[in-house]
Amino acid sequence: MTNGTATYDFSGASVLVTGGTSGIGLATARAFADAGAQVTVTGTRASINDYDEDLRHFSYRQLRVTDTDEIKEVAASLSALDVLVNNAGNVKFAGEDEAIDVFEEMVRVHLLSGHHMTQACLDKLSESKLPGGASVVGMASLTSFMANTFVPGYGAGKAGMVQLARTQASLYSDRGIRFNCVAAGNIATRMTAPVADMPEFSADMLRRTSMKRWGRPKEIADAVLFLSSDRATFITGETLLVDGGYLYNQ
| pLDDT confidence of residue 224 | 98
Position 2 pLDDT exceeds 60: no
Name the pLDDT band for 71 (thresholds 50, 70, 90): very high
| pLDDT confidence of residue 98 | 64
Position 1 pLDDT exceeds 50: no
| pLDDT confidence of residue 7 | 84
CB atoms closer than 10 angstroms to residue 23: 21
Position 102 pLDDT exceeds 90: no
Cα of 242 vs its chain's centroid, Å: 12
Residue at 248 is within a domain: no
Query: Any catalytic annotation for residue 154?
Result: yes
Mean pLDDT of 36-44: 97
| pLDDT confidence of residue 6 | 60
Residue at 84 is within a domain: yes
Residue at 24 is within a domain: yes
Residue at 7 is within a domain: no
pLDDT in tens, 204-249: 777 788 778 878 999 999 999 999 999 999 999 999 999 888 788 8
Q: What is the mean pLDDT of the chain?
A: 90
Cα of 119 vs its chain's centroid, Å: 16
Residue at 1 is within a domain: no
Higher pLDDT, 132 or 37: 37
Name the pLDDT band for 70 (thresholds 50, 70, 90): very high
Residue at 3 is within a domain: no
Residue at 223 is within a domain: yes
The total number of structural domains in the chain stands at 1
| pLDDT confidence of residue 30 | 97
Closest CA to 221 of 11, 25, 1: 25
| pLDDT confidence of residue 193 | 58
Position 99 pLDDT exceeds 80: no
| Rounded-to-10 torsion of CA 25, 184, 223, 42 | -20
Residue 58 sits at the vertex; the CA angle it makes with 223 and 43, to the nearest 5 degrees, is: 80
Q: Per mean pLDDT, which range of 83-87, 155-159, 208-212 is the poorest? A: 208-212
Query: Per the residue annotation, which of 8, 154, 172, 246 is the catalytic one?
Result: 154
Position 155 pLDDT exceeds 70: yes
Residue 85 sits at the vertex; the CA angle it makes with 82 and 87, to the nearest 5 degrees, is: 165
pTM exceeding the 0.85 threshold for the entire prediction: yes
Range of the structural domain that residue 160 is part of = 14-242
Higher pLDDT, 207 or 64: 64
Kindly report the CATH number assigned to the domain that includes residue 238: 3.40.50.720
Cα of 32 vs its chain's centroid, Å: 13
Please spell the DSSP secondary structure of 88-153, one letter per residue. Answer: --------TTTHHHHHHHHHIIIIIHHHHHHHHHHHHHHT---TT-EEEEEEEEGGGTS--TT-HH
Name the pLDDT band for 101 (thresholds 50, 70, 90): confident
